[in-house]
A and B are shown apart, each in its own frame.
Chain A
């Protein structure tokens, strides 16, 4: 597959939030402010990219030769957890200012299904290393894009007169529904 097509389809057409419903928890939790949306988005791009490439290497370098393909889930999630922990320690030690910005998002990422999903998806789609790299940047970039768009809408929403039952998350889902409708029209792009 054309690498550019892969990138665009990962980012926009098959956007993980709107078309695959993955990464909903941080999407709902962190998307209230633009600032935190950008922080979370960057952290996710970084972690997804590194964790996916590492998982890809682990799968084809260790698990396949040993015929332990069925251990992939357990290995990937441990790898992700360990990687996030490591990054947290590293940033904390070397760049306290960056830690201040990103630090609070890192622990949340372990349980962000987007990271595990991209790592597993690269294997199921049988992507090679280059495709894995492109996909692992495109997909979280789409996540960040969504997070940013969403946070600006929610900032505007604050102080608006929303029916009481819909306050908070329900209205956010309505917005997500409308955005999904808009994004579904992108499917003809590629």
Chain B
């Protein structure tokens, strides 16, 4: 029983305390820019996860053959290649997603999460753990920007909707806030910053709570 609790606490920790976006402030640019609707967030999240996992695999594979002083160019070439490939595939098979994400697909190259994980994790660990790290980091990045886009789309348009990126067919569309009561500024820059600030503060508050709890435990 207690073991189970700790495990779920561990997962929550990974998602919240080590959250790359709200906890470590990595990859902020894309999480602010493309979170106007859930579709874009999922698309971006999947793209980043794919690039992150593959780059982790490749970086981990070449880690022993790469001399220290040229590791940055090597990683950059690997990441840029992967991003270009993913970008081409998105443009070819989901053109609507491509036009919605725009330049931010190319900018995955300089997304700090990817180069950061390559440096901090994959360059020191074998392939297996690197895959796991890439997937979990990508997953929590995806969840974070989905949370952002959920709030922004709901408050900004009053409607939650999801559509198939391959065919553009709507999967569902649900109006939760009656027309005239939505807050359009959540679609704008202002709303992006505010949403981000509140979510980051929520994560910080949770962290503080954990710290206090552990302090109490220590003093007991």
A contacts B: CB pair < 8 Å: yes
A residues adjacent to B (C-beta < 8 A): 18-25, 28, 70-71, 73-74, 77-78, 81-82, 110-113, 116-117, 120-121, 124, 163-174, 176-178, 180-181, 184
A77-B110, A116-B109 are contacts. A21–B189 as well, Cβ < 8 Å?
A: yes
- What sequence of 0s and 1s flags, for each residue 11-53 of chain B, a beta carbon within 8 Å of any chain A beta carbon? 0000000000000011011101100000000000000000000
Tell me whether B194 and A165 are in contact (CB under 8 A). no
Separation of A163 and B198 alpha carbons in the complex (Å): 12
Are A121 and B103 touching (Cβ within 8 A)? yes
A19 contact set on B, CB distance < 8 A: 189
- Once A24-B32, A117-B107, A124-B103 are accepted as A-B contacts, the answer to whether A177 and B193 lie under 8 Å apart by CB is yes
User: Chain B: how many interface residues by the 8 Å CB criterion?
Assistant: 42
In the bound complex, residues from chain A placing their C-beta under 8 Å from that of B76 are: 77-78, 81
Contact (Cβ within 8 A) A81 B208: no
Q: Per DSSP, are chain A's interface residues mostly helix, strand or loop, or mixed?
A: helix
Contacts from B to A (Cβ < 8 Å) = 25-26, 28-30, 32-33, 72-73, 76-77, 80-81, 83-84, 87-88, 103, 106-107, 109-112, 115, 185, 188-194, 196-198, 200-202, 204-205, 208
With known contacts A20-B33, A70-B88, A111-B112, A173–B107 Cβ distance under 8 A = no
Interchain CB contact under 8 A, B29 and A25: yes
Contact B194 A78 (CB under 8 A): no
What separation, in Å, do the CA atoms of A12 and B63 have in the docked complex?
A: 43
